[in-house]
Structure 1
Amino acid sequence: MLKITMFSKADKVKGQGVGSAYIELINMLNEQFKQEFVININTWGKADISHYHTVNFPFYLSTFFKKQRGVRIGYVHFLPETLKGSIELFAPFQKIFEWYVLDFYRRMDELVVVNPSFIPELVKAGCPEDKITYIPNFVSNEVFYEKSASEQCALRKKYGFSPEQFMILGVGQIQKRKGLDDFIQLAKDNPELTFVWAGGFSFGKMTDGYEEYEKVYKNPPENLIFTGIIDREELVEYYNLCDVFLLPSYNELFPMSILEAFNCGTPVMVRELELYQSVIKDYYIGCNDRQEMQKALRRFKKNPELLEEYQERSRNAAHYYSKEHVAKIWHTYYTETVEHYQKKN
């Protein structure tokens, strides 16, 4: 049996996509491969694989004990530039942090990226391309799934929404890079539509734009609701009761929220970003700016039957990024990687 140690603090801060991805992977491995893999969390015993999900400093120090750690695999959920608009650090600390993150990745024997668009930047930072592998995120269809039409109607009643309301859902941390300014402005410009943002300030006052967003959070327009950070059991209900999932982010990785929406059969609208072309092309409604989002939302409000095509696209995407499909990829990756390094040594 392969001994795999997971190093992660991703589940310590609620409302992070990294934490969701980590939990999904751990649950999947324990469920499907418990006869082949022994999974330990943040332990220091000898392992065949040490899989680093977060870049905490004690984990960085552990990489120097190579014999104990086995094959060191770094999970690249972000690059330094993708954090811009997420957290605000004093400029000198920002430079140190950026160096540290890239050096953490350079210390790995292998890297796994959640989006292939990261690969050129990692190579530029000094990581050999032949040691970088793309494995997509996934979400469990037991947690995030499409409910029946009658269940969706019941959910609207539960949360105090009428069947006639056209509802737009946004999900994620409240921060500038998520496109919150556009989401808020769309709500102001479309008082006849209902906007819900599920998420909160995961990083507190370190959040970029915290003071500005806190004011809106406490006193939003009448048609804009902030739920705060909520559990996944409640989040799946919001995906099912909305008409459109909208993620207006300026900078993304491979958002778990998009996969969650796909699993719920919810039409997905995003700001058109180059990185989406390599992972979810043809599955979403792409808009270049707020004006295009505005036109699309009004068009769908007037002709809701047009959303049926995008519901089907979401279902197709959910099938492609299913837990079963991605599980096979991880199994092959872990076993072949260990075999490769054993032969090498």
Structure 2
Amino acid sequence: MKVLLFSEGKKLFSKSGVGVALKHQMKALQHAGVEFTLDSKDFFDIVHINTIGLKSWKLLKSSKKKGIPVIYHTHMTYEDFRNSFLFSNQIAPFLKKQLLKRYSAADYLIFPSHYTEKLIRSYGITTPGYVVSNGVDTDRFRKDEALAKEFRKSFTITTPLVVNVGLPLERKGLFDFAEVARRLPKYTFIWMGAKFSYIQPSKVRKLLRNPPKNLVFPGYVPFEMLLGALSAADAFFFPSYEENEGIALLEACSVGCPVVIRDIPVFKDWMVSGTNCLKASNVDGFCAAIKSVVNDKELAERLGRKAIKAVHERDLRLVGEKLKEIYTAVLEDKNE
């Protein structure tokens, strides 16, 4: 069995969740001993598509003509595309039509969460599918005190540290993050992630250029700096309005960060406020939650331990085994 893991725009998406998901699939399949290729000209038994560009559509059609099963990974939804980049809200209705077309044409779907499955089904799509976490590399994302010390030194941090990771988008809760920073001037806030300023709305560009004095946007950072930030953080603050799973959150949990998140449906099944996180729905609630984990070390440590436990079932080794089971079942269905 050989699987084609297909993704367009690898350079562009390398700094996004889709790019991380592809890397996770590669590592997961290596753990599971499943042979794969990234070259569509290579021989393969199954296609696993991650993007919705023209090349993906052509590959889907050509593979189906050859009788090769096509699995589409539903990384994108209408809901999470809105309030992202410039003109995203105007494009979103047209995108939804493309999602309907592609997800319906596939033989099978993979959903990163039960929440995403529910959204996709609400579009009227009936293609059979499976829920599989994007996963997290729990071996790689472990607290590193040396990197934490180095990170605090490089940013000259002497106050409580609150971090976030991801593209700085309105949909990701960017403006709430900035407002919380304004209300907590004695804390340092750092949001790491590629800015893509040229396709951001003007109000986002304005904030990125002129943030509150205690808020820093360093852009995309190397892994060692990312791990250093997560290891040094007093709180991981993830105020996103819409997620299909939230890879950055999985990574923060794996490191043992006490996390503060928005109370949204995608986290309902596995993130429990007061047990492995604190949830809030507005700026006042976020400020109170962040102050709680900063001022109560026992609470912070307990939330961190429980967060680590919560992501163990999303380890890439388990993801690889699940993908292997799915690929095997897909090939058996084809041969019947």
Fold in common (TM above 0.5)? yes
**d(CA) in 1 for partners of 2:70, 2:116:** 19
Tell whether 2:51 aligns with 1:47. no
| Secondary structure of the corresponding residue to residue 61 of structure 2 | coil
User: What is the aligned partner in structure 2 of residue 3 from structure 1?
Assistant: 2
User: What is the aligned partner in structure 2 of residue 181 from structure 1?
Assistant: 175
Tell whether 2:263 aligns with 1:272. yes
Aligned residue pairs, count = 332
Preserved CA contact (<8 Å) 1:10 1:22:
no
Structural mapping, 1:6-17, within 5 Å: 6-9=5-8, 11-13=10-12, 14-17=14-17
User: What is the aligned partner in structure 2 of residue 318 from structure 1?
Assistant: 311
**d(CA) in 1 for partners of 2:25, 2:51:** 14
Task: Return the offset for 1:337.
Answer: 1.7
Q: Which amino acid aligns with 1:169?
A: V
Gaps of 5+ in 1: none
Q: Which amino acid aligns with 1:275?
A: V
**d(CA) in 2 for partners of 1:172, 1:92:** 23
Which of 59, 63, 66 is 1:62 aligned to?
59
**d(CA) in 2 for partners of 1:234, 1:283:** 24
Q: Which amino acid aligns with 2:4?
A: T
- The 1:120–1:213 alpha-carbon spacing in structure 2 relative to 1, beyond 3 Å, is closer
User: What is the aligned partner in structure 2 of residue 337 from structure 1?
Assistant: 330
**d(CA) in 2 for partners of 1:280, 1:92:** 32
| Secondary structure of the corresponding residue to residue 176 of structure 1 | coil
User: What is the aligned partner in structure 2 of residue 76 from structure 1?
Assistant: 74
Structural mapping, 1:222-241, within 5 Å: 222-241=213-232
Which of 135, 152, 156 is 1:156 aligned to?
152
**d(CA) in 1 for partners of 2:55, 2:233:** 42
Q: Which amino acid aligns with 1:118?
A: T
Preserved CA contact (<8 Å) 2:147 2:225:
no
**d(CA) in 1 for partners of 2:210, 2:183:** 16
Task: Return the offset for 1:302.
Answer: 2.8
Measured against aligned partners, the alpha-carbon deviations of 1:148-169 in whole angstroms (never above 9, x if no partner) come to 4x6533442243223xx21100
- The 1:104–1:286 alpha-carbon spacing in structure 2 relative to 1, beyond 3 Å, is same
RMSD: 2.1
Q: Which amino acid aligns with 1:170?
A: N
Q: Which amino acid aligns with 1:5?
A: L
TM-score for the superposition, normalised by structure 1: 0.89
Preserved CA contact (<8 Å) 1:47 1:68:
no
Higher mean C-alpha deviation, range 11-20 or range 101-110: 11-20
Structural mapping, 1:163-312, within 5 Å: 165-202=159-196, 204-207=197-200, 210-281=201-272, 282-312=275-305
- The 1:89–1:335 alpha-carbon spacing in structure 2 relative to 1, beyond 3 Å, is same
- The 1:240–1:147 alpha-carbon spacing in structure 2 relative to 1, beyond 3 Å, is same
User: What is the aligned partner in structure 2 of residue 108 from structure 1?
Assistant: 106
**d(CA) in 1 for partners of 2:278, 2:10:** 31
Measured against aligned partners, the alpha-carbon deviations of 1:141-200 in whole angstroms (never above 9, x if no partner) come to 34322124x6533442243223xx211001111110011111101111111111111013
Task: Return the offset for 1:45.
Answer: 4.7
Measured against aligned partners, the alpha-carbon deviations of 1:206-245 in whole angstroms (never above 9, x if no partner) come to 33xx322222222222211111112233211111111110
**d(CA) in 2 for partners of 1:223, 1:167:** 10
Task: Return the offset for 1:15.
Answer: 2.6
**d(CA) in 2 for partners of 1:3, 1:239:** 36
**d(CA) in 1 for partners of 2:164, 2:139:** 22
**d(CA) in 2 for partners of 1:337, 1:152:** 44
Preserved CA contact (<8 Å) 1:11 1:23:
no
Q: Percent identity?
A: 23
Measured against aligned partners, the alpha-carbon deviations of 1:304-328 in whole angstroms (never above 9, x if no partner) come to 3321111111211232221222222
**d(CA) in 2 for partners of 1:215, 1:200:** 16
**d(CA) in 1 for partners of 2:122, 2:207:** 40
Higher mean C-alpha deviation, range 116-125 or range 323-332: 116-125
Gaps of 5+ in 2: none
Preserved CA contact (<8 Å) 1:245 1:266:
yes
**d(CA) in 1 for partners of 2:131, 2:267:** 14
Q: Which amino acid aligns with 1:30?
A: Q
